[in-house]
Each structure stands twice: as structure tokens, then as C-alpha cells.
Amino acid sequence: MNYFVSSLTELLARFIVLFTAITVHEYAHGWAAYKMGDPTAKYAGRLSLNPMSHLDPVGALCMLLFRFGWAKPVPINPMYFRDRKRDSAIVAAAGPLANIALAFVSTILFALYYVYIYLNFQNFVTRFVYTLFMQLAVVNISFAVFNLIPFPPLDGSKILGAFLSYENYGKLLQYERFGFPVLILLSLTGILGRILSLFINPLFSLWLASLNGLVSIFM
């Protein structure tokens, strides 16, 4: 029974965290595009922190079950940009940067919560919030790293495009429609997870060391 409750609690926390990470990520794309002169996301109702505005039901289910999924992409029209490559890269970078910022804030809150509340009060609610803060930091770090992979249609490919010639940038965009099925295949075969672990594991070690340092400061 305890195992069931623990699993259900972890699933609920993951559900909340994934929706938060996706919402912040997609909102940041839309906000950056709007600041670059593109009102498409605003007119589509995507400049919102309401998770339902960004939810893709199948993508959300896949994230919960397989830890790989997707949200509804924020509509962007690069024709509004002054410099298509540069501004597209800025808009693309906004999503992962928002996740990194959320992970940073979550880590500080996690350390404060652990020292001043969790160590003094042990019950179902405090354990749930503990899990929530921990996953909020971990998932946002993972989400940022994944989206920074320079492989279309991920954000990293748009950032890479800023450093390519217009000819090569155009060729890169041609492969966007093939990239998503390839990512799903790599995920199902476990190859994607092994590639991500090369980058995420060192970052998690750094995150854990930073968390321990914060806890030491607050205690």
C-alpha cells in the first residue's frame, strides 16, 4: 500500500512538473517571438501560462509514460523578423533558457524548503512537496538539455542555424519534417537516452553539488 501511494505521489508530481516545464518553455518561445515583432503566437492565444493552451494530449501521455513527448509548438512566422536566422535563434533559445531559469529558482526553493520545513515536519504533504521541488529542478534541466540538441526540429537546430550560411540554413530546415520520427525511433531504442546521459549526468552531479552547498549555507 505504501509503495502504491508513493508511486501515485511521484506520478502526480511528475504530471504537475511536466505541465509546468512545457508551459514555461512554450510561453517563452511565444513571448520572445512577440518581442521580435511576430504577433502570431499572441493572436493564436499562446501567450498564456495556462497549460491547456500548450497541451498536446498524445505528447503529454508519452511524457508521463516514456519520459519523452511533446507540446503543441507555438506558431512562429519568421517573416516578421528583421534577421530571420538571428531572431529565430533568439526565439529558439528562449525556451531552454526559461527552463534553466526555472530549474535555478526551484533549486533555491528546494534547499530552503528542505532545511526549514522538510527536516522539521515529516508527513505526506511535506514529502509530496519535497518530490515536487526535486522533480521541478531535475525535469527542467533535462528538458533544457534535450531541446538544445542541434537536431531538427529541436531548438538547438535553430540556434545552430544562426551560425550557418543561408544556403546551409535552408538545407537544415528541409530536414525538420524527418527529424521528429527519427527522435521517436531513437527514444524507443534507448539510443537517445544514452546520448542525453552523456550531457545530463555531469549536469546532475553539478546540480547535486550546488544543492548540497545551498543546504549547507542555509543550515
Tell me the average pLDDT across 67-72: 72
Catalytic annotation present for 26:
yes
Q: What is the pLDDT of residues 5-43, one digit of tens each?
A: 667 777 788 888 988 999 999 999 999 999 999 999 999
Whether residue 169 has pLDDT greater than 90: no
State residue 41's pLDDT score.
Answer: 93
pTM of the complete model beyond 0.75: yes
Q: What is the pLDDT of residues 152-164, one digit of tens each?
A: 889 999 999 888 8
State residue 1's pLDDT score.
Answer: 47
What is the distance between the terminal CA atoms of the chain, rounded to a whole angstrom? 34
- The amino acid at residue 186 is L
Average pLDDT, the chain: 87
State residue 30's pLDDT score.
Answer: 95
CA distance 153 to 211: 33
CA distance 65 to 211: 28
Q: How confident is the model at residue 64 (pLDDT cuts 50, 70, 90)?
A: low
CA angle 93–98–79, rounded 5-degree value: 40
Q: What is the pLDDT of residues 119-153, one digit of tens each?
A: 998 888 898 999 999 999 999 999 999 899 988 88
**Out of 10, 26, 167, 176, which one is annotated catalytic?**
26
Displacement of CA 46 from its chain's centroid (Å): 17
